[in-house]
A and B are shown apart, each in its own frame.
Chain A
Amino acid sequence: MSEKKKIVIAEDDSSLQLLLKFRFEEEGYDVFTASDGERALELIDSKLPDLIISDIMMPIYNGLEVVNKIRSRNNNTPIIMLSNAGQEEMVLKAFHIGADDFLSKPFIINELLIRAKRILK
């Protein structure tokens, strides 16, 4: 009996958040959602997820700050960034500070599911 993998999704777009939660739950994950960076960090600290999916632009702390904070605590949980068009520079930066992967919007959720699966292996 394998435990359910836990995922924290940090995304301020409510529609996307809803969709992602639905899809990942369909896949059998335990999903915890946050609409801002601060809440995301709280969830990460409390739920100790196996994977973090985070948007770059968010209120309070943005995606980069979240990555930074996590990595500086020596937390090596895999992180996938979601970016908008025109945020390439930020994406690169994210990689520099420790993000593992990224996906630019709009995307097919299936693709995200595949990447997630791969990282968690």
Chain B
Amino acid sequence: MITNKILVIDDNVNLYRVIEAFFSPSYTKTIFSKSIDVIYEVINNKNEIINLIVVNNSCIENAKVNFYEIIKNSNHSNIKNIPILVTNANDLKLTDDKQFTYLKKSTPEIDILSQINTLILKNNCHVEHSLAINKTNVLFENSPLPLMLLDEKLDVKKTNKAFEKQVYTLHNDVLVNLLDLFHTDVNQIKADLKTAIIEKIEGLDLKVQIGSKPFSASFIFIYNDQQEFINTILVLQELELDSVQKFEKFNMQSFVNSSLIAIFKINTAGVILNWSLGAKNIFKFTKKDIVGKSFSTIVPNENTEQSKQIIQKIFSTQKEQHFSRVARRKDGTYVNVLLTFLPVKNEDGKVDGLYVIGKDTTHIKQLTDELNNYKYAIDKSIIVATIDRKGIIINVNDNFLNIYGCQEHDVVGKPFSVLKSDNINKPIYKSLFDTIESGKIWKGELFQKAKSGVEFCLDVTIVPFVDDQGVTVKHMLFCNDITQRKLLEDKEKENILMDKSLKMKDEFMANMSHEIRTPLNVILGYADLLLESEMENEQYKQISTIKKSSKLLLSIINDILDLSKLESGKIVLDDTAFDLKHLVLSVKDMLEIEANKKDLFFKVKIDNTIPKYVSSDATRIEQILVNIVNNAIKFTKIGYVKITVELESKDEHVARVVFKISDSGIGIPKDKIDTIFESFTQSSRYITREFGGTGLGLTIVKKLMDQLKGDISVTSTVGKGTEFKLVIPFEISNQEILAQNTTPLMASKNNTVDEPLNLNILLAEDNEFNQILAKTRLESWNCMVDIANNGLEAIEKLRVNDYHLILMDIQMPLLNGYDATKRIRSEFTCHKQEIPIIALTAHASNGDAKEAKKLGFNDYLFKPFNLKLLHARLKQYGAVTTALASEKADIQDDDIVNLVDFSYIESESLGHPNIIKMLIESFIREFELFISSAKQANIDQDWNGVYKAVHRIGPSISNFNIKNIKPYTIQLYEKSKEEQENDTYLSLITKAEEEFKKIKPIFQKKLNQLQTVI
């Protein structure tokens, strides 16, 4: 039994007691001494074998003798070789002597014990092998120091509890490749160990790092007595960091604790050795998950081997490298990362690992992608240019090059101003520069010029790009081509202006029309009047000249107005049925006199095949024919003028009628013939001067023909003659027309203008001169004329009086002719409702004819009056009224007169004409009221109403003793007294009404007579 002897020199017994308790007394004996002097005893006692001395440093220092010298100078082989453990040392290396081991003061006792254990073991080489092994085993297992046993191949044989505990606190993995934990090349370690063994070195100390902690790894080589190597024991001891290291470590800690940056170290095998918080945040693996695993774990599509190779490559370059790649997270999702590999050198200057620093670039990648998309979109859609602070073009996109029609080298590097159009608007440019220089965005339109010279217009937005200090670095221009839009805008403006001016012209013309014609009509009217009175021949000639000139002036004005209207497209063609043959004949009638005056042969031939009635604008057709025929007569000095009317073609609805007007006149020269239809051409002016006329006639004819959808052509030989050919498509009318309503010119030959008419006429006309004119004219025809100044007055007069017809001017103040007629047709009853009304209109729009009839006029007359026509119309319509009055009965005038007896009234009113007049007027009113209210009551089945109505009128009938009405009213009175339904009521009322119509003229006459007296 070998016993270990430990000598403890200490100033107190505490340590001694611990040691004594720790080591089994079977194997270990512990001696205590307070003083160093005990050494002398050991030296002197050769039999006392001490295996270990544990001495407190303070004992050494306080000793009077030099402890070290004693040890060194001793001859005792034991002493020389005894391991000495110095506790409570200030420094760990007070001597270089390997015999001494120093432990700092306040070293935990357990550490002291394990150190003792180590030293004992170290020194026990002569112990029996098996025993040693046993002891070793026990000690090994129980040692508080982390121990690992390695075999002769330097593979791990076993580890003790302390070792496992130590490593487990750092790492939970199985002990297989523990040596792989060291941050150094394992092979290198093995090589170093082998070398040490060969050289029979006792041990090897290495500084290693496990996790983030530094350890001292002491490899102890165990040899047998034969100095053969048996095995190696590795002792791990955690090293304390010195202050510098601590500080660095602290900094590193903060750095490593960054939550956004991944930091981890990998060794040359590509194994991840540590893992920061940031790494966890980015890759989602925890330390437990990933430390000890291959780098390929976070690299998709790579296995361990591949990772190893890549890592090796990086190692070999020994340089910092960057990789931007897609990494794989714990949950299988991917993340974009930027990895920086930093080679790390150890103390010895060797690269023993790579630090990997990773940053999540997903967000950045997203932004970059989005930016790229935006850039692409902008680039492709609009025109983009970048200019620097000085206005020099930095770059442009393809759209820019396209629209300017140039290459990149044409514009990049040049000032932007080279592109401006010649139409530069200096003020725009000034404000542009001011705006962008002040850092604001400028929006506006710029005219630009392409390389080819083509000008275009851009809608431009200039945006400044500033740096962090707010200083403008460059400007970007974003432009759209708005050339098309601008063109459209301009066109529209033009159109609006044109419309405006056309409208103004039309309004002007319409106003002028009335203003010009009115005084002209007066001139003509008075001229006519004058011509009727007695005067000298000379005066007659003079006034005739006035009349002729006025007429010419009027026709010029009419032509101008017509032309203006035609050009504006304001002519509306009438569409009424008329007798075509009749129209042509009336044209002939009109112009025959003139032709006869010149002794020309004037013939009209109308084919029988042409339709009798056609629907068109008779007035305009007449105008055309008159114009052409007039010209024919005008330009023919001798010979003939012929009109032929034939049918060119015909179908169910339309007949194409050909009018040929030929003459043996002077003809039209070939160079003038093409322009005769144009107004104000040289030929027309020449004609006007020679032959008179307005020169506009043919132009108007042409335009009218166009509107009628007809064709007109001319053939002519100078000196021989001319032929005009007109083809007009007519709509065939099957209607029977009343002759009186459609013939535009009813100039019957037998009409003597002086024939008296004896009519009561109401003239509604606002112009004083016209009033006098008309009145004088009408009175010369023995008519009684009432004047109304406006429509209202006209209606009032009609209410009180009775007339044969009304001449109604259209344009009047307060109530115009249209509205007055409308009211008459609606508000009045009996014959007054149907009184003939002739519209008096200026030769204005053609729509009037149709309108006239629609609004209730019976006819219309143009001002100034054609006397013949006026007379004819008055006769025509006057006859209608009187005809109605004497419609049915063949009663003579005398008989009718007897039907009314004025004697009672006359005597009772003492013959006062005013009273009689009032009574007659009152009666007429009352009777008409009776008729309408009785009729209405009958409709309403208000029998009492019927009775009341007839009852009221009874006395008046008696007053005048109206013989033809009395029977009916008496019958009606008797019957309606019953207040029962009776189908005879209506017929009685109607009969009474009819009879009244018969005798009404009597009252009229009476009133007229009284009028003269009043």
Please tell me if A13 contacts chain B, counting CB pairs below 8 Å. yes
Please tell me if A74 contacts chain B, counting CB pairs below 8 Å. no
Please tell me if B918 contacts chain A, counting CB pairs below 8 Å. yes
Binding site secondary structure of chain A: helix
Please tell me if B395 contacts chain A, counting CB pairs below 8 Å. no
Which residues 911-929 in B have Cβ within 8 Å of A in the complex? 912, 915, 918-919, 922-923, 926
Partner of B922, one of A14, A22, A23, A109: A14
Complex contact A14–B926 (CB within 8 A):
yes
Kindly supply a per-residue 1/0 record for chain A positions 28-44, scoring 1 wherever the CB is within 8 Å of any chain B CB and 0 otherwise. Answer: 00000000000000000
* Closest B residue by C-beta to A21: B915
How far is it, in angstroms, between the C-alpha of A105 and the C-alpha of B926 when the chains are bound? 19
Partner of B958, one of A14, A23, A26, A106: A106
Complex contact A23–B908 (CB within 8 A):
yes
Which residues 942-979 in B have Cβ within 8 Å of A in the complex? 952, 955-956, 958-959
Partner of A13, one of B904, B910, B912, B952: B952
- State the Cβ distance, A90 to closest chain B Cβ, in Å: 15
Please tell me if A92 contacts chain B, counting CB pairs below 8 Å. no
Complex contact B910–A26 (CB within 8 A):
yes
* Closest B residue by C-beta to A108: B908
Contacts of B908 in A (CB 8 A): 19, 23, 108-109
Complex contact B922–A15 (CB within 8 A):
yes
How far is it, in angstroms, between the C-alpha of A103 and the C-alpha of B909 when the chains are bound? 19
How far is it, in angstroms, between the C-alpha of A12 and the C-alpha of B956 when the chains are bound? 12
* Closest B residue by C-beta to A26: B910
- State the Cβ distance, A16 to closest chain B Cβ, in Å: 6
Complex contact B909–A13 (CB within 8 A):
no
* Closest A residue by C-beta to B907: A108
How far is it, in angstroms, between the C-alpha of A23 and the C-alpha of B919 when the chains are bound? 14
Complex contact A22–B909 (CB within 8 A):
yes
How far is it, in angstroms, between the C-alpha of A23 and the C-alpha of B915 when the chains are bound? 10
Kindly supply a per-residue 1/0 record for chain A positions 101-120, scoring 1 wherever the CB is within 8 Å of any chain B CB and 0 otherwise. Answer: 00001101100000000000
Contacts of B959 in A (CB 8 A): 15, 106
Q: How many residues on B have C-beta within 8 angstroms of the other chain's C-beta atoms?
A: 16
Please tell me if A48 contacts chain B, counting CB pairs below 8 Å. no
- State the Cβ distance, A113 to closest chain B Cβ, in Å: 11
How far is it, in angstroms, between the C-alpha of A105 and the C-alpha of B958 when the chains are bound? 10
Most buried by A among B908, B918, B922, B959: B908
Please tell me if A18 contacts chain B, counting CB pairs below 8 Å. yes
How far is it, in angstroms, between the C-alpha of A14 and the C-alpha of B953 when the chains are bound? 10
Complex contact B956–A15 (CB within 8 A):
yes
Complex contact A106–B912 (CB within 8 A):
no
Binding site secondary structure of chain B: helix
Given A14-B922, A14-B926, is A19 in contact with B909 using a C-beta cutoff of 8 Å? yes
* Closest A residue by C-beta to B955: A13
Kindly supply a per-residue 1/0 record for chain B positions 865-905, scoring 1 wherever the CB is within 8 Å of any chain A CB and 0 otherwise. Answer: 00000000000000000000000000000000000000010
* Closest A residue by C-beta to B923: A15
Complex contact B918–A18 (CB within 8 A):
yes
Kindly supply a per-residue 1/0 record for chain B positions 625-637, scoring 1 wherever the CB is within 8 Å of any chain A CB and 0 otherwise. Answer: 0000000000000
Given A18-B915, A19-B908, is A106 in contact with B955 using a C-beta cutoff of 8 Å? yes
* Closest A residue by C-beta to B919: A15
Contacts of A105 in B (CB 8 A): 955
How far is it, in angstroms, between the C-alpha of A18 and the C-alpha of B926 when the chains are bound? 14
Contacts of B926 in A (CB 8 A): 14-15
- State the Cβ distance, A54 to closest chain B Cβ, in Å: 16
Given A14-B926, A26-B910, A109-B908, is A19 in contact with B955 using a C-beta cutoff of 8 Å? no
Given A19-B908, A26-B910, is A13 in contact with B956 using a C-beta cutoff of 8 Å? yes
How far is it, in angstroms, between the C-alpha of A3 and the C-alpha of B956 when the chains are bound? 34
Which residues 99-154 in B have Cβ within 8 Å of A in the complex? none
Contacts of B958 in A (CB 8 A): 106
How far is it, in angstroms, between the C-alpha of A13 and the C-alpha of B923 when the chains are bound? 11
How far is it, in angstroms, between the C-alpha of A16 and the C-alpha of B953 when the chains are bound? 12
How far is it, in angstroms, between the C-alpha of A82 and the C-alpha of B558 when the chains are bound? 69
Given A13-B952, A13-B956, A26-B910, is A19 in contact with B915 using a C-beta cutoff of 8 Å? yes
Contacts of A22 in B (CB 8 A): 909-910, 912, 915
- State the Cβ distance, B900 to closest chain A Cβ, in Å: 14
Kindly supply a per-residue 1/0 record for chain B positions 23-39, scoring 1 wherever the CB is within 8 Å of any chain A CB and 0 otherwise. Answer: 00000000000000000
Which residues 421-440 in B have Cβ within 8 Å of A in the complex? none
- State the Cβ distance, A21 to closest chain B Cβ, in Å: 10
- State the Cβ distance, B854 to closest chain A Cβ, in Å: 39
Contacts of A26 in B (CB 8 A): 910
Contacts of A108 in B (CB 8 A): 908
Complex contact B915–A15 (CB within 8 A):
no
* Closest B residue by C-beta to A11: B955
How far is it, in angstroms, between the C-alpha of A12 and the C-alpha of B926 when the chains are bound? 12
Contacts of A14 in B (CB 8 A): 922, 926
How far is it, in angstroms, between the C-alpha of A80 and the C-alpha of B955 when the chains are bound? 19
Complex contact A15–B909 (CB within 8 A):
no
Partner of B955, one of A16, A18, A23, A109: A16
How far is it, in angstroms, between the C-alpha of A14 and the C-alpha of B918 when the chains are bound? 11
How far is it, in angstroms, between the C-alpha of A105 and the C-alpha of B959 when the chains are bound? 11
Contacts of A12 in B (CB 8 A): 952
* Closest B residue by C-beta to A106: B958
Contacts of A106 in B (CB 8 A): 904, 955, 958-959
- State the Cβ distance, A7 to closest chain B Cβ, in Å: 17
* Closest B residue by C-beta to A20: B908
How far is it, in angstroms, between the C-alpha of A70 and the C-alpha of B923 when the chains are bound? 33
- State the Cβ distance, A105 to closest chain B Cβ, in Å: 7
Contacts of B909 in A (CB 8 A): 19, 22
* Closest B residue by C-beta to A107: B908
Complex contact A19–B919 (CB within 8 A):
yes
Kindly supply a per-residue 1/0 record for chain A positions 69-98, scoring 1 wherever the CB is within 8 Å of any chain B CB and 0 otherwise. Answer: 000000000000000000000000000000
How far is it, in angstroms, between the C-alpha of A106 and the C-alpha of B956 when the chains are bound? 10
How far is it, in angstroms, between the C-alpha of A12 and the C-alpha of B955 when the chains are bound? 11
- State the Cβ distance, A62 to closest chain B Cβ, in Å: 13
How far is it, in angstroms, between the C-alpha of A68 and the C-alpha of B923 when the chains are bound? 32
How far is it, in angstroms, between the C-alpha of A14 and the C-alpha of B915 when the chains are bound? 12
Contacts of B904 in A (CB 8 A): 106
Complex contact A18–B910 (CB within 8 A):
no
- State the Cβ distance, A82 to closest chain B Cβ, in Å: 11
Contacts of A15 in B (CB 8 A): 919, 922-923, 926, 955-956, 959
How far is it, in angstroms, between the C-alpha of A18 and the C-alpha of B923 when the chains are bound? 12
- State the Cβ distance, A24 to closest chain B Cβ, in Å: 12
How far is it, in angstroms, between the C-alpha of A13 and the C-alpha of B952 when the chains are bound? 7
* Closest A residue by C-beta to B954: A84
How far is it, in angstroms, between the C-alpha of A53 and the C-alpha of B919 when the chains are bound? 21
How far is it, in angstroms, between the C-alpha of A16 and the C-alpha of B918 when the chains are bound? 12
Given A23-B908, A26-B910, A109-B908, is A18 in contact with B952 using a C-beta cutoff of 8 Å? no
Most buried by B among A14, A16, A105: A14
How far is it, in angstroms, between the C-alpha of A106 and the C-alpha of B955 when the chains are bound? 8
How far is it, in angstroms, between the C-alpha of A19 and the C-alpha of B918 when the chains are bound? 10
* Closest A residue by C-beta to B925: A14
Kindly supply a per-residue 1/0 record for chain A positions 1-15, scoring 1 wherever the CB is within 8 Å of any chain B CB and 0 otherwise. Answer: 000000000001111
Contacts of B912 in A (CB 8 A): 22
How far is it, in angstroms, between the C-alpha of A37 and the C-alpha of B904 when the chains are bound? 27
Complex contact A18–B922 (CB within 8 A):
yes
- State the Cβ distance, A115 to closest chain B Cβ, in Å: 16
- State the Cβ distance, A88 to closest chain B Cβ, in Å: 17
Beyond A15-B959, A18-B919, A19-B919: 13 further Cβ-contacts under 8 Å?
A: A13-B952, A13-B955, A14-B926, A15-B922, A15-B923, A15-B926, A19-B908, A22-B909, A22-B912, A23-B910, A106-B904, A106-B959, A109-B908
In the A-B complex, list the 3 residue pairs whose CB atoms are closest, starting with the nearest. Answer: A13-B955, A109-B908, A22-B915
Q: Which A residues contact B (CB, under 8 angstroms)? A: 12-16, 18-19, 22-23, 26, 105-106, 108-109
What are 15 A-B contacts with C-beta separation under 8 Å?
A12-B952, A15-B919, A15-B923, A15-B926, A15-B956, A15-B959, A19-B919, A22-B910, A22-B912, A23-B908, A23-B910, A26-B910, A106-B958, A108-B908, A109-B908
Q: Which B residues contact A (CB, under 8 angstroms)? A: 904, 908-910, 912, 915, 918-919, 922-923, 926, 952, 955-956, 958-959
